[in-house]
Amino acid sequence: QKEVEQDPGPLSVPEGAIVSLNCTYSNSAFQYFMWYRQYSRKGPELLMYTYSSGNKEDGRFTAQVDKSSKYISLFIRDSQPSDSATYLCAMSNQGGKLIFGQGTELSVKP
Amino acid sequence: DSGVTQTPKHLITATGQRVTLRCSPRSGDLSVYWYQQSLDQGLQFLIQYYNGEERAKGNILERFSAQQFPDLHSELNLSSLELGDSALYFCASSVGARGSGNTIYFGEGSWLTVV
């Protein structure tokens, strides 16, 4: 079993929809939780960062962490075609070594 | 633009050969990380250097090695290449040794194809 599980999709939604992306993990030592966005063959770009449990909002993006359930989510409101990309969850304990999920491919149709 | 520079962007080489990938971290960043991204394994941590010293090691093959130089740039050396080494290799950097995720910035990657 992988330390971080993420549904690879692909996920296709109409423009304006609310998108929900999720990851589960098995290592209770993880304290830092990130969401990266990756366009095709480009470097991952940090979208959201959360320490421990709780919610964080940044514009149309909301990240949630539930450490008791070992479950993290990313919500995208009013999705746009420009949001079409692969979304990767990543986690770490205190070190710089990030453990990534497989990534979910999202397509937002106009 | 994250400020992390990687060269070359694309590389095609034959099995059994050796290649070197180069990374210049963001200005002021002391840590450099190397990751491998393949279709079947996803994004995997290889190794981290902090201010010239190896800091953390992941599932890096013995055929692979890395180093960080006094000017903080880093090189990843891949030798005795196999078809399965074909992947996108990312360098990332952060200010501190621990990174903690919020300060780790990725370069655009070096796409290696082994034929």
Q: Return mean pLDDT, chain B.
A: 93
d(CA A92, CA B98): 10
Q: pLDDT: is A92 or B5 the higher one?
A: B5
**Cross-chain Cβ contact B102/A33 below 8 Å:** no
Model confidence over B15-24: pLDDT tens digits?
999 999 999 9
Model confidence over B47-81: pLDDT tens digits?
999 999 999 999 899 999 999 999 999 999 999 99
Model confidence over A34-79: pLDDT tens digits?
999 999 879 999 999 888 888 999 999 999 999 999 999 999 999 9
Q: How confident is the model at residue B100 (pLDDT cuts 50, 70, 90)?
A: low
pLDDT at B46 over 70: yes
Mutate to test the interface with B, among A2, A7, A46 (most CBs of B within 10 A): A46
Question: Are residues B100 and B40 in contact, defined by beta-carbon separation less than 8 angstroms?
Answer: no
Q: What is the SS3 assignment for A83?
A: helix
* Amino acid B102: pLDDT: 62
Question: Are residues B25 and B69 in contact, defined by beta-carbon separation less than 8 angstroms?
Answer: no
Half-sphere exposure of B33 (CA within 13 A, CB side): 28
The contact set of B with A (CB < 8 A) is 2, 4, 31, 33, 35, 42-45, 48, 55-56, 58, 88, 90, 94, 96-102, 104-109, 111
The alpha carbon of residue B27 is apart from the nearest alpha carbon of chain A, in Å, by: 18
Phi-psi region of B85 (alpha: psi -120 to 50; beta: other; left: phi over 0): alpha
Q: Return mean pLDDT, chain A.
A: 93
**Cross-chain Cβ contact B31/A103 below 8 Å:** no
pLDDT at A82 over 70: yes
* Residues above pLDDT 90, as percent of chain A: 77
